[in-house]
Amino acid sequence: MNPADVTMVREVVATVGGRRVVAVDTIAHVAAEDAGQVVVTGSHGGISSAEYAARHPLAAVFFNDAGVGKDGAGIAALAFLDARGIAAGAVSHDSAAIGEGRETWNGTVSAVNELARAAGFRPGERLREAIARVHGGKA
C-alpha cells in the first residue's frame, strides 16, 4: 500500500443520548468541537495518545489496547485520563484493527479506567453497545 493513498478518517458514527460519537483513526485529530462528546480512536492507549485526548474535556474516549504491551504501555492513557476527569477505555487489538477508529467503534472493551467503570462500562462488552447503554440511546 502506498502511504500517500491512505485517507485518515474522522466521522460522526452515531449520536447517542444527545452526544456525538466521533471516530478518528488517530487521536491527533481530536478537536475543540469534540468537547463533551465521545471519541473512539484507532490510536493505542499510550501516554502520548492521552496527552492529545486531555486537550479537550471529552465525555469519554476509547483507544485500541495495542496488545497492552510492556508494563501496560498500551493502556497507560487510562490512568492518566482518570486523574484528569475523563472516562477512558480500550478495545482489544484482537477485535479491532489498530489505527482505524471505525474498528474501535465495533471492538470489544478490554480495559476501562475508574471513571468509565463508575459510568457503567465493563470489559467484554461490544463498545458501540456499551456506549448506547451508558449514554442512554441506540447505537
Q: What is the pLDDT of residue 8?
A: 72
Task: Tell me the C-alpha to C-alpha distance, in Å, between residue 36 and each of 20, 53, 67, 87.
Answer: 9, 12, 28, 11
Total domains in the fold of the chain: 1
Q: What is the pLDDT of residue 43?
A: 97
Q: Is beta strand 87-91 parallel, antiparallel or unpaired with respect to 109-112?
A: antiparallel
> Which range of residues forms the domain containing residue 57?
3-135
Task: Tell me the C-alpha to C-alpha distance, in Å, between residue 17 and each of 38, 40, 64, 110.
Answer: 11, 16, 24, 23
Look over the chain and give the mean of its residue pLDDT values, rounded to a whole number: 93
Q: What is the pLDDT of residue 74?
A: 95
pLDDT digits (tens, 9 = 90+) for 55-107: 999 999 999 999 999 999 999 999 999 999 999 999 999 999 999 999 999 99
* Other Cβ atoms within 10 Å of 70 Cβ, number: 7
Tell me what the mean pLDDT of segment 19-37 comes to. Answer: 96
- The answer to whether the predicted template modeling score (pTM) of the entire model surpasses 0.85 is yes
